[in-house]
Structure 1
Amino acid sequence: MKTPSCTLLAEVRAFRQKHPDVRYVDLIALDIPGHFYGKRYPVEMLEKVAAGSPLKLPQNAVLLGVQGGLFKIGDYCFNDGDPDANRRLVPGTLKPVSWESQPLGQMLITSDGTDAPIEFEPREVLARVLQRLQHKGIHPVVAFELEFYLFDKKLANGLPQFPRDPLSDDADDQPNLHIERLSRFSAVLDDMAQTARDQGIDSTVITAEIGPGQFEINFGHSDDALRAADWAALFCRSTRGVALKHGYRASFMAKPYLQFPGSGMHVHVSLYDGAGNNLLAAHQQQPLRHAVAGCLQLLPHCMPIFAPNHNALRRLGGTVNAATRASWGFEDRDACLRIPESDPRNLRIEHRLTSADANPYLVLAAILAGLEHGLETRQEPIAPLNDDRSSGTDFPVEMLDAVRAMQHHTVVRDTLGAEFVDVYCENKRQDHLAFQQEINAREYRWFL
């Protein structure tokens, strides 16, 4: 995991030569709720870090809640002295930032690969799962798809407004899949895609989705699963920035409108051995069935990861292509696990349950843990939706129920790490309780 300092130093020096006007670089990492935290470094100081100087940030920055506050989680935050923890630079991620008002750079940092990685850091959780799979000769190839909504830049009484059609200046308030919407919003969408590519992200297909102002951008398949999750995280950051530059808001909020479809994070995963053979396609696709069974078995116990907040749980059920139970099927978008039609070389599982605002590192770690569990236990899955439209198993749709189902599940604790599970579940529990500490207008209308 460690990269020679000469390689990182060469990357920083090449960046400075290409972008001489950049004075500062944001060193950023993803916390548990999926927000970036970090420090803004003078670029000359970044050279020192690349050459081997220590890079330290508070360990507990990873534990921030959705609103940025700290919760008491075991001895963390209030009884541990708030210690620093080492981070390292992620090679290949130093890129210019084009959406800010001044020239700026950014670079990912992480604790994985350091002498004392933070057990509950999301990227480290995924790195541990990948390392375990690698030791078993299993090599994932991964592709993310992210849906998001565009809104008008100004809110109306705190509520989102439909984006203005740049050609007619009318609100884009009609749900449809028309490709003309791509043309009408091409300026901002093209800038989002190009900015993603400038960040090193392999962005590919752009789709107008069903909701008004809703779009999807796909990423290429990557045999570096950590880098695939990096792409998803960085895309959310750059997309929000580009949207503001064009006079819009971009949001990956799971369910911004009750009457329209929510936004999901779809993850395609295939598994290969060291010789490049697709493990899922072997023995008449029997490993595929085992992997599906394992994923479905762990899915109800990973719901706080797949639907990480109150709003994300609203997305589940009641609208098109959003599953209400843990299910699977061939070419079936109503299933949690869809098996797209493909040749044996590209046979894969598409995990469709996750909300767009989930943490991509943790989502991928949970999916891979499910696949690994299935390949080891070799159980048969329930009937696919193609054979039985009522097939499926229930999963919790209330956050406190979901947290209880996750925290004490032995396989989840073993595969994702007991310390991480305890910290994550308490973080979600405290966020949920904090969310409840406000009386909204409807409550007064009903009960005053």
Structure 2
Amino acid sequence: MKSQTSTLLAEVRTFRQNHPDVRYVDLIALDIPGHFYGKRYPIEMLEKVAAGSPLKLPQNAVLLGVQGGLFKIGDYCFHDGDPDANRRLVPGTLKPVSWESQALGQMLITSDGTEAPIEFEPREVLAKVLERLHQKGIHPVVAFELEFYLFDKKLNNGLPQFARDPLSDDTDDQPNLHIERLSRFSEVLDDMAQTAKDQGIDITVITAELGPGQFEINFGHLDDGLRAADWAALFCRSTRGVALKHGYRASFMAKPYLQFPGSGMHVHVSLYDGAGNNLLAAHQQQPLRHAVAGCLELLPHCMPIFSPNHNAFRRLGGTVNAATRACWGFEDRDACVRIPDSDPRNLRIEHRLASADANPYLVLAAILVGLEHGLEAGREPIAPLNEDRNSGTDFPVEMLDAVRAMQHQPVVRDKLGAEFVDVYCENKRQDHLAFQQEIHAREYRWFL
């Protein structure tokens, strides 16, 4: 504890020396829907927190709905007195914020590692899964890939408009994968990449995707799953900020256009033992097959995590590389679980089902639980798509069905935590019901 305090103090003091114009720092954490909440602290108070002063925020801030409101979930929110809960600073995450009009800093906070962690906090859920795997001698290496769309900054009657090509002043309304689109939007994309690097994120490949104004950015592989999920969360925040600075909106919305591909969160995961051997590659890759079987078995019961809102379910099926069933395949982008071509050292799965706006901590936790379950159960998977294009098992494609499938699955409850599962499912159920409480103009056209 003394060592961590010393490290945090050194980090804050170094930051103050390097950024003397910064007066405030945003202390932020991700809630259940994947939005940041937190407080803006004077830099002097941050140094006191680093030295050991308590850092408390309302426990129920984690339970906010998509629109920021609180739902009655068991005794939480309205019958618990809205208590505070301790948070701690995450070392190594104090960085400058360059996309705001004033000089600011930001730093991640979390309840994991505190005396009384919040059981349903997303980062704590992932921390528990990783700790259990480490105790079993399993060490994941993880890399995220995130797709997103650029839109014009101005909405048209609440609807998004195509991003405007800064060179031709025409809208980027043609779906394509052309490399020239990276050049045409290089100013904003380069700023996004550099800003992410300034946050400590290892940005690698940038791709122009098939949708108009759609791009993908990949991150480097990490042997720290928490840090990998931190990168994904922080990248979304900085990318939206940088886009606004350049006159665009960046959105990780799963399916902004019905006629164009949705945006996904692809997660590469390999598993190693303490000596650095790839566990999936042992015994003629039999553990890989078991891990795939576990992922596919639990996938239908984790759909509220992979597709966390009404719009995310629209992404499934009907467009390029979006699976409609739980399936797998070698070098097959139509599969939920793809096995990229690689040497035994780098053998891994690529989980492709989650939408780009899903919570990265929970997505990774659900994937790891599936792999863990598969290794324990030792079952053979269904046929890969390479052998049978019709192979696959059904998963829920509507939120209330998905919630029911998740809430009562014993393996998911055991490995993700029963309290978390109950809280998360009720949060999703209430969000879905709240979404229905508005009459769309189409209803008047059809039924008036």
Query: What TM-score, normalized by structure 2, do the two folds share?
Result: 1.00
Q: Number of aligned residue pairs: give it.
A: 448
What's the secondary structure of 2:3's corresponding residue? coil
Residue deviations 1:5-34 (CA, integer Å, cap 9, x gap): 111000000000000000000000000000
Q: Shift of residue 391 of structure 1?
A: 0.1
Residue deviations 1:84-119 (CA, integer Å, cap 9, x gap): 000000000000000000000000000000000000
Paired residues of 1:153 and 1:244 also in contact (CA < 8 A)? yes
CA distance in 1, matches of 2:51, 2:100: 28
1:223 is the counterpart of 2:223: yes
Residue deviations 1:190-241 (CA, integer Å, cap 9, x gap): 0000000000000110000000000000000000110000000000000000
Aligned to 1:102: 102
1:261 is the counterpart of 2:261: yes
What's the secondary structure of 2:338's corresponding residue? strand
Paired residues of 1:329 and 1:335 also in contact (CA < 8 A)? yes
What's the secondary structure of 1:4's corresponding residue? helix
What's the secondary structure of 2:431's corresponding residue? helix
Distance 1:135 1:2, change over 3 A: farther
Aligned to 2:28: 28
Paired residues of 1:316 and 1:322 also in contact (CA < 8 A)? yes
Residue deviations 1:220-265 (CA, integer Å, cap 9, x gap): 0000110000000000000000000000000000000000000000
Query: What TM-score, normalized by structure 1, do the two folds share?
Result: 1.00
What's the secondary structure of 1:216's corresponding residue? strand
Q: Shift of residue 2 of structure 1?
A: 8.8
CA distance in 1, matches of 2:249, 2:376: 45
What's the secondary structure of 2:133's corresponding residue? helix
Distance 1:307 1:148, change over 3 A: same
CA distance in 2, matches of 1:197, 1:183: 20
Q: Which runs of 5+ in 2 are unaligned?
A: none
Q: Shift of residue 281 of structure 1?
A: 0.2
CA distance in 1, matches of 2:146, 2:106: 22
CA distance in 1, matches of 2:281, 2:40: 47
Q: Shift of residue 4 of structure 1?
A: 1.9
What's the secondary structure of 2:137's corresponding residue? coil
Instruction: Write out aligned runs for 1:22-421 (5 A).
Output: 22-421=22-421
CA distance in 2, matches of 1:125, 1:180: 41
CA distance in 1, matches of 2:219, 2:179: 19
CA distance in 2, matches of 1:12, 1:3: 14
CA distance in 2, matches of 1:201, 1:92: 11
**Percent of matched pairs sharing the same residue:** 91
CA distance in 2, matches of 1:204, 1:198: 14
Q: Which runs of 5+ in 1 are unaligned?
A: none
Distance 1:47 1:247, change over 3 A: same
Residue deviations 1:304-359 (CA, integer Å, cap 9, x gap): 00000000000000001000000000000000000000000000000000000000
Aligned to 2:428: 428
Query: Runs ≥4 in structure 1, deviation > 3 angstroms?
Result: none
CA distance in 2, matches of 1:88, 1:346: 34
What's the secondary structure of 1:197's corresponding residue? helix
CA distance in 1, matches of 2:228, 2:394: 30
CA RMSD after TM alignment:
0.7
Distance 1:164 1:3, change over 3 A: farther
Distance 1:400 1:48, change over 3 A: same
CA distance in 2, matches of 1:275, 1:124: 27
Paired residues of 1:3 and 1:91 also in contact (CA < 8 A)? no
CA distance in 2, matches of 1:431, 1:107: 28
Paired residues of 1:2 and 1:114 also in contact (CA < 8 A)? no
Paired residues of 1:206 and 1:218 also in contact (CA < 8 A)? yes
Q: Shift of residue 3 of structure 1?
A: 5.8
CA distance in 2, matches of 1:52, 1:320: 51
CA distance in 2, matches of 1:77, 1:352: 34
What's the secondary structure of 2:2's corresponding residue? coil
Residue deviations 1:12-62 (CA, integer Å, cap 9, x gap): 000000000000000000000000000000000000000000000000000
Residue deviations 1:380-422 (CA, integer Å, cap 9, x gap): 0000000000000000001000000000000000000000000
